Structure formats: C-alpha cells, structure tokens
Amino acid sequence: MAKSTLSFVCQNCGAAYNRWQGKCDSCGEWNTLAEEDTTGSVPVSIRSKRKGRTFALESLSGKTQDAPRLSSGMAELDRVTGGGFVRGSVLLVGGDPGIGKSTLLTQATSMMARAGHRAVYISGEEAVAQVRLRAERLGLADAPVQLASETSVEDIVSTLSEGAVPRLIVIDSIQTMWTDTVESAPGTVTQVRASAQALIRFAKKTGATIILVGHVTKDGQIAGPRVVEHMVDAVLSFEGEGSQQFRILRSAKNRFGATDEIGVFEMTGLGLREVTNPSELFLSERELGSPGTAVFAGIEGTRPVLVELQALVAPTSLGTPRRAVVGWDPSRLSMVLAVLEAHCGVKLSGHDVYLNVAGGLRIQEPAADLAAAAALVSSLVNAPLPTDAVYFGEISLSGAIRPVAQTPARLKEALKLGFGRATLPESARGDGGGDSGLSLNSVGNLTTLVAEIAARGTPRGGRAVPRDDQGGSRSDTAEKNATPARFRRETS
C-alpha cells in the first residue's frame, strides 16, 4: 500500500509546498494554502521501469482540412467560438455570479436539442427541478434536453458513454465535480485539475463538445488552477454589470478561432436576446447636446461598434484629485491626461476626472484615445461636441495622432447609423476614408483638436470663449501655431 503523502497546495495557482505558510511564494496570495493528500500517484521507481514505445514523426507539409463545426443556433455564440463548436473540443466559460451563464447555456443546449442533436445538461449546484423551473421561465420546457444533477466524474462518464454520443455536454460547474482518483475535497486545486482531465479525455475520445462552467474570484479570474485554462481549447468570459441589461461574451483563448471577437446579448424577462446591431443599442439612450460626451467608432474583432464615452471634469478642493474610469484602461487615461497638460496646455491638476463607457462595454484598443480626449476637453470648457460626429485615433506621447486599423469599416458603420462627420488621424484619409460619404476632419496633432473644441465652449461661470489678442477665435489661433502657455492660462 502506498504511503500517504500530505502537501500544502495553493488554491489560487496550484503551487505545492511541504509545509504550511501564510503567503504563497508563487502568486503572492495570502491564506490560500490547503492541506491535500497526494496519495494515488504511481511511485517514481515503478514508472521508471516502463519501456517507452516509438511513434512516427511527420513533417509540416501535408493535407489538412478545416475542423468540422456544429452551429449552436445562436449567432453571437458562434461568432465568439469561431463559427460553431468543434467536435471533441472543451470550452471553459467563466463569469460573475448571476451574470447569466446558466441562462446562456440552457438556451444553447435547448437549441441544439431542438435541432435533433443529443444535448446533456449536468448541474452540480442545482437540482433537476431548479433547472426545469429556469427552462419554463425561458419558454424552453419542450426542448428535449437531458438533465441530471450529479457531481461524480466517474458516474457522469459512465452514463454518457451509453447510447449515442452527445454532441453537447454542459458541466455546471467544474468546481463541484470530484473524482475517486485523488483524495481531496471538491473544489480544491487537485480535484478541479483531475476532474477536468477526465472530462477532457472523454471529449477527445468520443468527439463530444463539453462546456465547463467555472467560478470566478473577486478580481475576475477563473477560480482554480491556471493549468485548467491551458488544458481546454477555449476560454470564454461572460461580462456585464448587474445594473445593465447588456452582456458581453468575450474569448480570452480559442484554438479554433480569433480571440478578439465579442458576442453581445441583452438580458430580458425571457432570457438572453441576441443583439445583431450593438452600436444602435449602445447609442439608444444617448443624450444629445450634452458637454463631455463623444461617440467612439471602435472595432471588436471583425465587428465595428459605436459606443458613447462620457467624461466629467469638475474642480476639486482635495490635495490629490480623483481619477475614476469605468470600461477603459486607467493607465491609458493617465497617459491622455498627461499629454493634454504637457503639450496642449490643459491644466487638469486641480480637477477630478471621471470617464465612463456607456452601456457596460469594456474598450481595449488604443483608438479610443482621441474620443476620450475630446470628451474630457468638452467637459472642461463646457462645449458640446457635434451630435453627428464620431472620433477615433491613437494619441502618442508627443501629442501626434497616430493612424489605426480598419478605418473604412469604422466610417461605414458611422454612416449607416446616420452620422455625418468624423474626426480621425490625418494619415487615415489614404486608407479609404476619402470616399466614405462623411465629412472628414483629419487632425495631425492633439493641440489642433483641443483648440477647436475650446473655441466653441463657454467655461462654467459665464466667461467668454477664449480668444487671441487680435479678436480671433482659438481655432484660428491654432492654425497659426498658438502657444500652449496662453491656452493654459485661459483654461486654468
């Protein structure tokens, strides 16, 4: 009989230690080490006696074919997965509690079952009656989905091996599964890793597609060992705010498709509704003529998306002004503020700055720099931006506006939604923007845009629009290379 071996395993990253300690040296988390029994592994002396077998090596050249895919029946889900489910693939779906993961997967399995495929939904957290209640609320009670409430991986694999191979299997969630091969409690790193290995082995052997639901930690990372994310074929993140009806399905890893595609859903009383035109939905409640708002023409994967950026710049009496941002990179905001103050003469050191991406969308591309800068200056000088204008462009540390990719797609989406003008990098005119049908305002430096916005503004308190010594507007002075120092004094 093998001797029982105890070790302390970090429940956050999976690192193992011989003794307990308060902080994990691998991930830096505190109080995450738990005692686990590692009995059951084959001794090294026995493994070393096994003689390895030879296998054939092949070259890179040869016949290849695209992986066969099966549509889920939901166009937004297929977009994120790369065109549908690949046979034998394993997907890991994570998201905050109550965001709608179970609702999304219940709808997906129901559509697969209605299409004539065997779909199985196994819940380790809810009883069968609870899953049925959700299906009745969604109007999917008549779908021939096979349900079960089970947590033993061996029993699940044995049951699914009988009869026809399921085309789609949902395991909700992987943290509740356990296997007899390891001596640990369900939810521990060892159990999650061993359970995932058994389910992945079953998927590769039979060709069934398995979706594993994963819990998330307080910082948004999928709980359990990170090795599970390396083992699966795709990692999907279901994002959204509880107060917002929009839900974003984003791919963080995908072996069979792109990782920059998003799927947009709207949470309704009858479940998740697919949003085929996210731009129109994000701009549906837009307040026209309000200072501090700018429409950004962005790209998410292959899809152009128009979203509103809202900024508020308010004077503060605190020694350290606040910098709050929702839906954008805080470091990117700090960089834009530094460029505005250093090169454009906009003094923001005595103001609180708040930036929000309306609709709950999280922007990751640097093309939003120009729209954010326009919204910030618009709020500072109380100058509403044109309601039919979109903005996009990357700001360099020197204040120059750098070009971004897929300019024609951004302009085409703006024209389709009724916008008439666009502010874009100066070098983007040669990328197909000249025949877009929009009135283009190309800027090469951020100072020019700041001066144009300040010329239309009336700072709070009733002061007049900043003008130069000859009585011209600030936009005229910008064309004559106005000094940033003068603008700094006028906006302070």
Given this model, what pLDDT does residue 182 score?
A: 85
Q: Give the HSE-up count for residue 155: Cα atoms under 13 Å, Cβ half-sphere.
A: 9
Q: What is the pLDDT of residues 85-115, one digit of tens each?
A: 999 999 999 988 888 999 999 999 999 999 9
Residue 441 neighbours by CB under 8 Å, 6+ apart? 389, 421, 422, 423, 424
Q: How many CB atoms lie within 10 A of CB 312?
A: 18
Asked if the model's pLDDT at residue 469 lies above 50, the reply is no
Largest CA distance in the chain: 96
Quote the CA–CA distance of 215 and 264 in Å, as a whole number: 21
CB of 127 within 8 A of CB of 160? no
CB of 174 within 8 A of CB of 151? no
Asked if the model's pLDDT at residue 335 lies above 50, the reply is yes
In this structure, the chain runs to a length of 492
Confidence of residue 258 (pLDDT cuts 50, 70, 90): confident
Q: How many CB atoms lie within 10 A of CB 3?
A: 6
Asked if the model's pLDDT at residue 354 lies above 80, the reply is yes
**Radius of gyration (C-alpha) of the chain in whole angstroms:** 28
Given this model, what pLDDT does residue 49 score?
A: 55
Confidence of residue 33 (pLDDT cuts 50, 70, 90): confident
Given this model, what pLDDT does residue 51 score?
A: 67
Estimate the crossing angle of helix 446-455 against helix 330-343, to 10 degrees. Answer: 80
Mean of pLDDT over the chain = 84
Asked if the model's pLDDT at residue 298 lies above 90, the reply is yes
Give all strands of the β-sheet with 6-10 in edge-to-edge order.
Answer: 16-17, 6-10, 33-37
**How confident is the model over 24-31, as a mean pLDDT?**
85
Cis geometry, peptide bond prior to residue 237 (ω within 30 degrees of 0): no
The SS3 call for residue 27 is coil
CA dihedral 340, 344, 345, 346 (to 10 degrees): -40
Quote the CA–CA distance of 452 and 445 in Å, as a whole number: 12
Given this model, what pLDDT does residue 276 score?
A: 87
Choice between 64 and 271, residue whose per-residue pLDDT is larger: 271
Given this model, what pLDDT does residue 300 score?
A: 87
Phi/psi for 146 (5° steps) reads -90, 125
Phi/psi for 93 (5° steps) reads -115, 125
The DSSP call for residue 400 is: B
Quote the CA–CA distance of 91 and 93 in Å, as a whole number: 6
Q: How many CB atoms lie within 10 A of CB 39?
A: 13
Confidence of residue 443 (pLDDT cuts 50, 70, 90): very high
**Which residues on neighbouring strands pair with residue 310, listed in sequence order?**
293, 356
488: part of which helix (H) or strand (E)?
Answer: helix 484-491
Cβ burial of 226 (10 Å; 0-12, 13-18, 19+) is middle
Given this model, what pLDDT does residue 478 score?
A: 36
β pairing state of 69-70 and 85-86: antiparallel
CB of 353 within 8 A of CB of 321? yes
CB of 321 within 8 A of CB of 350? yes
User: For 96-242, where are the E strands, in sequence order?
Assistant: 119-123, 146-149, 168-172, 209-214, 234-239
β pairing state of 271-274 and 262-268: antiparallel
CB of 368 within 8 A of CB of 309? yes
Quote the CA–CA distance of 101 and 112 in Å, as a whole number: 17
